[in-house]
Amino acid sequence: MKIGILGVGKLGLCFALNLERCGHEVLGIDISESYVQQLNQKTFQSHEPQVNELLSLSKNFRASSHIADVLVNDYDLLFVMVATPSVPGGGYDHYQIERITGALVNFGQRDKPIHLVIGCTVMPGYTAELQKQLHDYNYILSYNPEFIAQGNIIEDQLYPDQVLIGEGNAEAGDMLETVYGTLCKSKPTICRMDPLSAEITKLATNCFLTTKISFANSIGDLATQAGADAEKILAAIGSDSRIGNKYLKYGFGFGGPCFPRDNRALNAYAETQGNEMLIGKATDNVNRQHLQFQLSQILAKHKAEELIIFNEVSYKPGTVIIEESQQLALAVAVAQAGRKVLVREKPLVIELLKEKYGNLFAYEVLS
C-alpha cells in the first residue's frame, strides 16, 4: 500500500520505518524542514533502538514537508501521528492535529474517499468530532493508537498483544486489519470497535496499568513498614493467574510521557460525562504518597553528610526521557532535603539536567 504518516516524530518515524520494511511505500510528512532533510539524507540520528539502521536500509521511505504530496500522489491510507500535549486540567491539546486537518480541508473535497487514521492519543469523542468536520471533504476517520514504550518502540510495534481499531466504517477497519497483518510478527488480538470506545480503551488500558503499579507500591510500602518481605508478597499475589506478575513489582512509581497523562486524561474525560473516576485519582495520589515514602526511607538510611548516588534518573533505564520520571523526582526531593546527590547518567541526560536543575546535583557520566 501507499501509506502517508503525518508527523514522523518519535512514534511516527518508527511506524513509518516498520511499515516500509514490511513492503509498503511510505511517505512521512513533517513540519520541520531541516528534520525532513536529515531523514531524506539518512543522516538523522535517533536514540531509539534500531531506528538508525532501519532508516539507512530503507528504500521506499521518504519524507516531505509538503502535505499536498500525500494528496496528489494518491496515498491509500493516512496516519496522523503529531504530538498532543497535556493541558492543565488533564486533557489533551489537539492543535497539531487541527493544523493538519485544516491543511487537508484547504485542498478541498477529494474525488475518492481517503482513510485518515488518528494514531495520536486524543480525548474520547475527538475522532467523531473530526469526522463531522471532514465528512463533506470525503474523509473516513478511524482511531488506532499504539501501545508502545519508548526505548522499545520498533519491537513493540512488531509484537503487540492487541491491535486496537476504532473504525470509521467496516471497510476502513478491514484496511487497518490488513496493514497490521503485514506488520505484526506476533498474533495480536484484533479489537475492532467504534472510535469512541477505542479512545476510552486506550486511556483505560494505561489507567489499569498505573493502578496495578500503584497497588504494588502500596502493598510494598506497607510490607516494608511492617518488616515483611515486599518482593515475596507481590510475587505470590502475581502468581495467581487472575492477577499476573506483570507491572506488579515493588519499585518506583509510574512516570514517563504516557502513563501519568493518560490516567489524568481519563479522569478529565470522566468529569465531562458527570462521572468521577475515583480509581484514577487514587492511583495518582498513591504515586505521590509512594514517592514521599521512598524519600523518608532514603533519608533514614543515609547519614546527613553521606553522598547519595542515583544511577540513571531517566524514567526508564536506557532512554533519555526525564519527563515525569519518578527516579528523578526522588533525586530532586533528596537533594532539596539538603542531602548531597550524585547523578550518574548519559551525557545527553546530564545536559538536560544541568539546564533544568543547575548544580542541585553533582554529575558523573555513566560508563
| Contacts to ligand NAD by CB under 6 A | 6-12, 29-32, 81-84, 96, 99-100, 120-121, 146, 148, 150, 257-258
Half-sphere exposure of 42 (CA within 13 A, CB side): 13
Q: Which three cell numbers stand for residue 92?
A: 489533551
What is the rounded CA–CA span in Å between residue 24 and residue 127? 25
Smallest distance from the beta carbon of 283 to ligand NAD, in angstroms? 18
The C-alpha cell that represents 352 in the structure block: 538536560
- Spatial strand order in the sheet of 362-365: 307-311, 340-345, 362-365
Pairing state between β 307-311 and 189-193: unpaired
Nearer of residues 61 and 361 to ligand NAD, judged by Cβ: 61
- Give the Cα-Cα-Cα angle 265, 267, 271 (nearest 5 degrees): 115
Question: C-beta of 111: minimal distance to ligand NAD in Å?
Answer: 23
User: CB nearest ligand NAD: which residue?
Assistant: 9
Q: How far is the CB of 121 from ligand NAD (least distance, A)?
A: 4
Amino acid at 224: T
Shortest distance in whole angstroms from residue 323 CB to ligand NAD: 10
The phi, psi pair for 350, rounded to 5°, reads -60, -40
Between CA 176 and CA 171 the distance in angstroms is 9
Q: How far apart are CA 38 and CA 214, in angstroms?
A: 41
201 vs 218, beta carbon nearer ligand NAD: 201
Measured from the CB of residue 357, what is the shortest distance to ligand NAD in angstroms?
23
In the complex, minimum distance from the CB of residue 342 to ligand NAD, in angstroms, rounded to a whole number: 29
Nearer to ligand NAD, 197 or 289 (CB): 197
DSSP-based three-state secondary structure for 212: helix
How distant, in Å, are the alpha carbons of 71, 107, 132, 169, 233 from that of 111?
Answer: 11, 11, 18, 18, 62
Nearer to ligand NAD, 10 or 290 (CB): 10
Beta carbons of 195 and 167 less than 8 angstroms apart: yes
Local structure of 162: helix, strand or coil: strand
User: 246 or 301, CB closer to ligand NAD?
Assistant: 246
Using the minimum distance from each CB to ligand NAD, give the nearer residue, 234 or 352.
352
- Smallest gap from Cβ 66 to ligand NAD, in A, equals 10
- 31/105 with CB nearer ligand NAD: 31
